[in-house]
A and B are shown apart, each in its own frame.
Chain A
Amino acid sequence: MKRLLLIAAGTLSGLGAVLSVTPPQLGAADLGLGTGPAIVPTTTPAPAPTKTATPPPVKSINGTFTGPVVNVSYGNVQVEITVSNGQITDARALQAPSGRNDRYTNFALPILKEQTLAAQSTNIQGASGASYTTYGWRKSLQGAIAKAGI
């Protein structure tokens, strides 16, 4: 996530004075830029939620596993994961849509990759702007994870 923010900050510096840049060294707690509207804490105290994304650390599953090719409306997405001792250590796209503009080819993949690799500690829980490829990524990733048996 830190790497990602460094890239983001690098881009933002070119965007002009009305933007305030999030310093990349900030931790998760400092990430919120503004508190958002209408914030009324309504929840009653509850136990901390159980994390779902932490695989059991004891499994000695190793190797690369390829998910299915998933067709999204303007191309295919296929994800490959690398597993070391039952933990996903890398996730990459073997295929991603290549549309009118190649800049979009990678299409939010690293963001999702961050979420995939560090779901237990990621700084964002959702993204606004992602669309079809998100769907393809998740679908293919699920297949790869199922194949790995983790």
Chain B
Amino acid sequence: MRTQHEIEVWGTILFLDITSQVDLKIAIEQVNQYVHHIDEVFSTYKENSVISQLRRNEITIEECSSEVIEVWNLCDHIKELTQGAFDPWAVVGGFDPSGLVKGWAADNCAEILQQAGAQHIQINAAGDLSLRGGFTPDKPWTIGVINPDNRLEILQTFEIQDGAIATSGTYERGAHISDPHTGMIAIGAKSATVLGPNGAIADALATALMVAGRDGAIWFTSKELSEYSAWVIDRHENVAWSIGPAAT
């Protein structure tokens, strides 16, 4: 049976599209609890969240739970992979992993549902998608990328069986990405889409490409990112470029 669910969380809506032969009632409730837990821990808007305490230096990373340490380490790793273009430590007010957490948590939601026996899973966290098992047994998920200049249009589609896709752009919540090198608003791209096996990495790379623009293409030549692809619309020239196995 195919079911769709919506969870209001993270200042947006989490959309689940699941096909399963087994009853997922418990698993969906687990997802619901999990995403609210993630909000309590990682929200920079909640004064008492672990991240807010960490930002105020009231606690150290060593005092945090394993999931916070996992995110911290992932951030550190992707900072390195992106030569500093992704840098949650450079955000005004302190460590802010928001550019990665949504994609990371979407993957974890998909994992919960897959473990519970769901066969075809789409988790859409406001543009950060985690996908499992294709849309049907013989058809991958087809995901459209919205034109940042004209939300009436889908500019590109990608087919994904198992993996993640994330789009970053200044249009979603205003210009919310800063260049860690300059502290200025990121100007490397108008919209950056990354797809690959891991949602956290895809999310962070999309954020980083907003900063680095075409300079970020080189990251995708590393062995570790050989399964990742980028599709990016330049800010000024109004052209798109792409790299990676799904490049078109």
Nearest B residue (CB) for A37: B227
Query: Smallest distance from the beta carbon of B177 to chain A beta carbons, Å?
Result: 14
Most B-side CB within 10 Å, residue of A16, A42, A47, A130:
A130
Residue pairs across A and B with Cβ atoms less than 8 A apart, 6 shown, are: A19-B240, A34-B229, A50-B1, A100-B174, A125-B143, A134-B126
Interface residues of A in 13-41 (CB under 8 A from B): 14-20, 22, 28, 31-41
Closest 5 CB pairs of A and B: A32-B159, A16-B239, A129-B146, A34-B246, A135-B13
Q: Which of B8, B134, B197, B239 contacts A15 (CB 8 A)?
A: B239
Majority SS at the chain A contact face = loop
> Which of A56-64, A77-85, A107-115 is the contact stretch?
A107-115
| Known contacts A35-B246, A138-B13; A42/B133 CB under 8 A | yes
Judge whether A37 and B196 touch: CB under 8 Å.
yes
Most A-side CB within 10 Å, residue of B119, B142, B237:
B142
Q: How large is the interface on B (under 10, 10 to 19, 20 to 34, 35 or more residues)?
A: 35 or more
Q: Does B158 contact A (CB under 8 A)?
A: yes
| Known contacts A22-B157, A33-B156, A42-B162; A129/B248 CB under 8 A | no
Judge whether A34 and B167 touch: CB under 8 Å.
no
A138 and B16 CA atoms in complex are apart in Å by 13
Which residues from chain B contact A11 at a C-beta distance below 8 Å? 147, 150, 153, 155
Judge whether A125 and B191 touch: CB under 8 Å.
no
Nearest A residue (CB) for B239: A16
Judge whether B1 and A36 touch: CB under 8 Å.
no
Majority SS at the chain B contact face = strand
Q: Does B115 contact A (CB under 8 A)?
A: no
Which residues from chain A contact B8 at a C-beta distance below 8 Å? 135
Judge whether A128 and B144 touch: CB under 8 Å.
yes
Nearest A residue (CB) for B133: A43
Q: Which of B153, B156, B161 contacts A40 (CB 8 A)?
A: B161
Which residues from chain B contact A4 at a C-beta distance below 8 Å? 153-154
A123 and B159 CA atoms in complex are apart in Å by 11
Q: Does B209 contact A (CB under 8 A)?
A: no
Judge whether A16 and B238 touch: CB under 8 Å.
yes
Judge whether B12 and A8 touch: CB under 8 Å.
no
| Known contacts A15-B240, A106-B152, A125-B143; A36/B159 CB under 8 A | yes
Q: Does B136 contact A (CB under 8 A)?
A: yes
Judge whether B161 and A8 touch: CB under 8 Å.
no
Judge whether B146 and A128 touch: CB under 8 Å.
yes
Which residues from chain A contact B197 at a C-beta distance below 8 Å? 37-38
A7 and B163 CA atoms in complex are apart in Å by 28
Which residues from chain B contact A94 at a C-beta distance below 8 Å? none
Nearest A residue (CB) for B131: A126
Judge whether B239 and A19 touch: CB under 8 Å.
yes
| Known contacts A4-B154, A7-B153, A134-B126; A39/B163 CB under 8 A | yes
A109 and B154 CA atoms in complex are apart in Å by 11
Q: Does A121 contact B (CB under 8 A)?
A: no
Which residues from chain A contact B15 at a C-beta distance below 8 Å? 126, 134, 138
Interface residues of A in 77-122 (CB under 8 A from B): 100, 103-104, 106-111
Judge whether A18 and B147 touch: CB under 8 Å.
no
Query: Smallest distance from the beta carbon of A8 to chain B beta carbons, Å?
Result: 5
Judge whether A52 and B172 touch: CB under 8 Å.
no
Judge whether B159 and A31 touch: CB under 8 Å.
yes
Judge whether B158 and A14 touch: CB under 8 Å.
no
Which residues from chain A contact B159 at a C-beta distance below 8 Å? 31-36
Which residues from chain A contact B242 at a C-beta distance below 8 Å? 18
